[in-house]
Structure 1
Amino acid sequence: MSSKYQQTVLSLLFALHYFFYLHVQSAKRPKCKCISRISLIKGKTARETLMEKGLWEEVSKKYPYNPMAKFLQTGDEGMTNDADMSYYGVISIGTPPQSFKVIFDTGSSNLWVPSVYCSSQACQNHVKFNPSQSSTFKWGNQPLSIHYGTGSMTGRLGYDTVSVGGLSVNQQIFGISQTEATFMSYMVADGILGLAFPSIAASGATPVFDNMMSQGLVSQNLFSVYLSSNSAEGSVVSFGDIESSYYTGQITWIPLTSETYWQVSMDSVTINGNVVACNGGCQAIIDTGTTWIVGPNRDISNINSMVGFTPNQYGQNSLNCGNLASTPEITFTLNGNAFTLPATAYTTQSSYGCVTGFGNGGSDQLWILGDVFIRQYYSIFDRQNNRVGLAQAV
């Protein structure tokens, strides 16, 4: 065999070996899906359903409404509240997939759904997960207990494939409810998918987005939320992507002050340049799981009064919709950056007038900037850099 021929054969063998090596290494690397988009539907909140039935006053006395409950937790029990959750999307769990409507909640960290082992009335009104019908399901070793402002859910933890917008998250830990508070019967969604940090997850469960990141399912370690202000449809949560079609102008990045919730520093709340709340600074949480903007009772009462809201017979504050043109804007200054809401953004039109988008949250100097705020500002939740991005929504 000639030296030239031997060299050619060796070169070919080396090339084949190198090609095989690259192929194996590529197979080992997680395949990244650049965009995963889930459509969100704006459904009726539990409050709205109960008000339509004339039951809100009665039920809220039995199950006191406390929107701050999930942010004033003790121990390792993540807390949330459901009376004003309204945006939900569809995910699936198991093999073959079982579908569920869930709230994508940046104010909590656990995924849980009702199960066939739950006999509570709330479970009877929702789709229930059946572990025996999934070939990929495995039971965990821990119980799960999550406390709510209006009750609690208890159950067990299990592992299964969870599909979110085409992304398949393997061996995702999630809660399988065995009891649920009666109040939760009025939720449109079946369960909740928490998108806050692992540090507040009940029973130390790894959140869904953390597994998306570790399994290489997203091209960027962030997700973004657009809430349409025009209709029940058009809202989306996008995993791994910032979608420029949903905002205009520049993105303002605000560093987090705590890696628990999506919490930032707020400098003040002003009307016509005058400070009306958060004088000297306070903390605010960007929360998709709360419909309203919630703050300390005294501050919220002052704001509602200053812009012309008065109590109505339904236990809410409202004003004549014809007065919106003269109702002032309200500005929230976060980490030195001003974010202004016109009256049309912080009011909701109903059959009995325009209702305030501000709710009492207790005496603690903590604010929740919920859907009322997020509808106005496209929100990006960046885990890579522990910051929130806000831009004017279109």
Structure 2
Amino acid sequence: MKWFVLLGLVAFSECIVKIPLTRVKTMRKTVSEKNMLNNFLKEHAYRLYQTSSPGSNITTHPLRNIKDMLYVGNITIGTPPQEFQVVFDTGSSDLWVPSLFCTSPTCSTHVRFRHLESSTFRPTKKTFRITYGSGSMKGFLAYDTVRIGDLVSTDQPFGLSLAEHGFEDTPFDGILGLNYPNISLTGGIPIFDNLKNQGAISEPVFAFYLGKSQAKGSVVMFGGVDHRYYKGELNWVPLTQAGDWRVHMDRISMKRQVIACSGGCEALLDTGTSLIIGPRRLVKNIQKLIGATPRGSEHYVSCLAVNILPSIIFTINGINYPVPARAYILKDSRGHCYTAFKENTERPTETWILGDVFLRLYFSVYDQGNDRIGLAKAS
């Protein structure tokens, strides 16, 4: 059976559509930093582009990495196409961008959808709200043609925001959710499912390679897996239940001692989250173990500690996934070092969110057809 799976991956890797991603910083920023970012974006105007490998159907179409925190890519909506920069997010299921009706100050700093200029636009009277870890929005549901590189979803349901909170100074216009349809809050069919239903992709699979720097081309790929982005074999992990990118994690350990998830727990793989988030009590214990001290909303350590702190190991489906100190210690704009662990509100069951700090190290494949996630060391 394993060989059939491998042959399948080889066969459909020739039809992959790859979207470039950019890594960006979530903005707790000073005015001067804002101006620097705006100037940077003007000087490095980002446009959709694609390159095809000679002799294959693979289309490469860049995610942009803005300042070491978030990964964003470009899509278009409408006829003729209007371009938006969005977060490709495995933690949610809905696509939305700002509307011309949005009254929040945030919307004036982002690209807004000009509905009157699209001949394929179709509005509805349905309204909805979405709350994320870092902000919230309310809006209404509409339909139009959405393009992700060469992939085209016609009559795609998407949200248009009327109000946004918490997205001030963020370098993205909206969010494109890649989770299962059952957690959609707009009630529309997610774009990945629409692409699958319309026969635009050969397999119900997408994957992320999140580069560690601007130079390393980050991508999200649809329809298959390009093996050049990872080393060794893909380790497949079944979802705890179909309908959410959530798996069972065996334990979290450091220096051979279990430091969290002692009886097993749940882990969500979330490309829309930059850090590693866990229950308050357990995160506090990890901060103590690595000698981090609280200051403001972060926990800081000496930058020299990167060379001496041990790896923290996340064991999933019997396989160890080490996260070394150079990955879980980050540097702020003043050159001070803080940890990538963040406290979550307590849930009934112990749940960890493994964000980009983890996913930069491990190439991740989201196989909706078989309700499983594949992980391998990133190239």
Give the TM-score range, shorter chain: 0.7 to 0.9
Q: Would you say how many aligned residue pairs link Structure 1 and Structure 2? A: 331
Q: In 1, distance between residues paired with 2:24 and 2:187?
A: 30
Query: Do 1:33 and 1:218's aligned partners in 2 also have CA atoms closer than 8 Å?
Result: no
- Given the superposition, is the C-alpha separation of residues 152 and 50 from structure 1 closer, same or farther in structure 2, using an over 3 Å criterion? farther
- Given the superposition, is the C-alpha separation of residues 138 and 231 from structure 1 closer, same or farther in structure 2, using an over 3 Å criterion? same
SS of the equivalent of 1:213 reads helix
Match of 2:9 in 1: none
Match of 1:260 in 2: 243
Q: How does 1:157-236 map to 2 (within 5 A)?
A: 157-181=141-165, 183-231=166-214, 234-236=217-219
Match of 2:81 in 1: 97
Which residue, 298, 301, 314 being the options, matches 1:319?
A: 301
Distance apart, 1:150 and its partner CA? 5.1
Match of 1:134 in 2: 118
The one-letter code sitting in structure 1 at the alignment partner of 2:73 is G
The one-letter code sitting in structure 1 at the alignment partner of 2:309 is T
* Structure with the larger helix share: 1
Larger displacement relative to structure 2 (318-327 or 266-275)? 318-327
Distance apart, 1:211 and its partner CA? 0.5
Query: Do 1:114 and 1:128's aligned partners in 2 also have CA atoms closer than 8 Å?
Result: yes
The one-letter code sitting in structure 2 at the alignment partner of 1:346 is Y
Q: In 1, distance between residues paired with 2:33 and 2:80?
A: 38
- Given the superposition, is the C-alpha separation of residues 374 and 123 from structure 1 closer, same or farther in structure 2, using an over 3 Å criterion? same
Q: Deviations over 1:306-340 (max 9, x none)?
A: 1222223x431122222222110111111222111
Larger displacement relative to structure 2 (152-161 or 166-175)? 152-161
Larger displacement relative to structure 2 (140-149 or 235-244)? 140-149
Q: In 1, distance between residues paired with 2:273 and 2:193?
A: 22
Distance apart, 1:52 and its partner CA? 6.2
Q: How does 1:352-363 map to 2 (within 5 A)?
A: 352-363=335-346
Unaligned 5+ runs, structure 1: 1-31, 54-83
Query: Do 1:292 and 1:357's aligned partners in 2 also have CA atoms closer than 8 Å?
Result: yes
Match of 1:38 in 2: 19
SS of the equivalent of 2:250 reads strand
Question: If you compute each CA radius of gyration, which structure gives the higher value, 1 or 2?
Answer: 1
Query: Do 1:46 and 1:85's aligned partners in 2 also have CA atoms closer than 8 Å?
Result: no
Distance apart, 1:258 and its partner CA? 2.6
Match of 1:297 in 2: 280
SS of the equivalent of 1:373 reads helix
Match of 1:336 in 2: 318
Query: Do 1:41 and 1:233's aligned partners in 2 also have CA atoms closer than 8 Å?
Result: no
Confirm or deny that 1:283 pairs with 2:270.
no
Q: Pairwise CA RMSD of aligned residues?
A: 2.0
Confirm or deny that 1:119 pairs with 2:103.
yes
- Given the superposition, is the C-alpha separation of residues 367 and 167 from structure 1 closer, same or farther in structure 2, using an over 3 Å criterion? same
The one-letter code sitting in structure 2 at the alignment partner of 1:195 is L
Which residue, 24, 28, 32 being the options, matches 1:47?
A: 28
SS of the equivalent of 2:326 reads coil
- Given the superposition, is the C-alpha separation of residues 85 and 347 from structure 1 closer, same or farther in structure 2, using an over 3 Å criterion? closer
The one-letter code sitting in structure 1 at the alignment partner of 2:287 is N
Which residue, 380, 384, 394 being the options, matches 2:369?
A: 384
Query: Do 2:303 and 2:336's aligned partners in 1 also have CA atoms closer than 8 Å?
Result: yes
Query: Do 1:43 and 1:232's aligned partners in 2 also have CA atoms closer than 8 Å?
Result: no
Distance apart, 1:47 and its partner CA? 3.4
Q: In 1, distance between residues paired with 2:317 and 2:125?
A: 43
Query: Do 1:42 and 1:233's aligned partners in 2 also have CA atoms closer than 8 Å?
Result: no
TM-score by length of 1: 0.80
Q: In 1, distance between residues paired with 2:229 and 2:193?
A: 25
Q: Deviations over 1:17-69 (max 9, x none)?
A: xxxxxxxxxxxxxxx9912111111112033569968xxxxxxxxxxxxxxxx
